Chains A and B, each alone.
Chain A
Amino acid sequence: MIPSNLSSVALSKCIVYFKDGNCGTFYSLDKSHRNARPNKILGLKRLEKMLLLRFKGKWETAIIYENQPNGREIAKYRDGVRLF
């Protein structure tokens, strides 16, 4: 079950700029089960999977940030290709 305070507990977030002009922020699910220790890599992989499978062909740019104020960029995608 997705926790209600996901935006505050997630370790990373993904901002997606869709081709239709919309923009969305998605927070990572970093736990493999409810009582598990948060795993940042797991969250990143899930976000990547979301971009490449769920929203395949629908977005233009996506940036994954650390979910902190002034969090740094972790990865950047453009047209399905990872730039860094």
Chain B
Amino acid sequence: MELTPVQLNYDFGKLFKTTKSYIDNYNKNNFELKSRINANHRATAELITRLYAKQLNKAISRGDSFEDGFPGFKTYNPSLASCKGCTVRTIINHKERLKAAGFIIKEVHHGKTGIELWINPLIFDERVKKIHPLVQEHQEQKNNNSDVNCLINVTGTLQEHHKNTEESWISNFDNAKANELEPAFLQGLVNNFWNYARSKLFPDDIFSKEEELKVLENITTTIYRNFEVKGSYKDWKDYQDGLYERVEMVKRWLDRNPYRWIPSAHLYFHPHNKRNNFKSTYQWFLKQQNLKRNIRNRILIQKAEKEWLDHDKGEGKHKDKSRLQLFRLQLKHLESYRDKTLLKVYENSLQRILSKKLTQ
């Protein structure tokens, strides 16, 4: 029987220790804040180490021996940024600092195919024998390309099963339906709304414990409809922001005239109060939102018309562009608002400008 050679892999734990000791050593000699490696840089370094080790282990399992030297760590700046939950610029800055520290020794840009990083060989100098996990492994052949059994965390990266045995709670955060939402979260919404409304609308009123409980009950029934409506966490948060705006709106309305008033809190949020309930502010809010949108649209259209006029005169920042280029530029800008009425108004204004030109 032929013996297969023992594969030596990179162990994540050891790599982290060497990374830590390397950075600690570097920090010992550098006292300036601008040159030190702080916790954020450290996290980026650890992320790079982990992903690089994964790539190297994969290459080892394919049979690479690295006789010609280590391959670089192939990655993309945006993917590192999304892994870490920061912007691309942050990753670039962190890489600069790590380069200055000697952690990254070389970086090559491959344009569309990403970047290649070479890490200090001091960190990757020790390999260990791959130890099989103590748990029973599946005997069936693994499909490495399949992500069926892999958990996807909030950053969109796949996680190994044996590294994370618990179900990722955050992964379902935004997709969870109302009936699956945590009661503490929903109660928090009610409490936060009440605290906000109280500070804005009833700052001088004193409420006993019973009164407050009753008001909270009324708010849950009237404003949140006892959470019978299904929605994700994000939906509820958006709704909450709308509620805060409505409270602000009422506050402004009260401040404009000293003779204006609202009923006491237990009546204002009472479900049977049809006359002056907080619920009726919704129509008011919608009206205001529409008004705001119309004004915004009008300003945008005026700006676009001015650009056309300047372009015809050979002035403005778009004077070197052709008419088609200008049209496309404006359309792209206006489409980013995702408002159909805006595009329709833009079309009308364009026709108006063109017809005016023809008559002249």
A residues with CB within 8 A of B: 40-41, 44-45, 74-75, 82-84
Contacts and interface: CB of A to CB of B under 8 A. Distances in A.
A40 B210 CA distance: 8
A25 B161 CA distance: 70
A41 B214 contact: yes
A61 to B, nearest CB: 16
B266 A75 contact: no
A75 B266 CA distance: 16
Interface in B2-39: none
B206 A41 contact: no
B210 A74 contact: yes
Contact of A84 (B206, B210, B214, B266): B206
Interface of B: 206, 208, 210-211, 214, 266
A21 B352 CA distance: 83
A15 B210 CA distance: 19
A75 B214 CA distance: 16
A74 B214 CA distance: 14
A48 to B, nearest CB: 10
Nearest to A48: B264
Across chains A and B, which 3 residue pairs bring their CB atoms closest together, nearest first? A41-B214, A82-B206, A74-B208
Contacts of B266: 41, 45
A44 B265 CA distance: 14
A45 B211 CA distance: 10
A4 to B, nearest CB: 26
9 contacts: A41-B210, A41-B211, A41-B214, A41-B266, A44-B208, A44-B211, A75-B206, A84-B206, A84-B208
Contacts of A83: 206
B206 A44 contact: no
Contacts of A44: 208, 210-211
A84 B210 CA distance: 13
A44 B208 CA distance: 10
Contacts of B211: 41, 44
A44 to B, nearest CB: 7
Contacts of B206: 75, 82-84
A53 to B, nearest CB: 14
A40 B208 CA distance: 11
Contacts of B210: 40-41, 44, 74
Contacts of A84: 206, 208
Contacts of A82: 206
A25 B211 CA distance: 22
B174 to A, nearest CB: 38
Contacts of B214: 40-41
Contacts of A45: 266
Given A75-B206, A75-B208, 9 more contacts: A40-B210, A40-B214, A41-B266, A44-B208, A45-B266, A74-B208, A82-B206, A83-B206, A84-B208
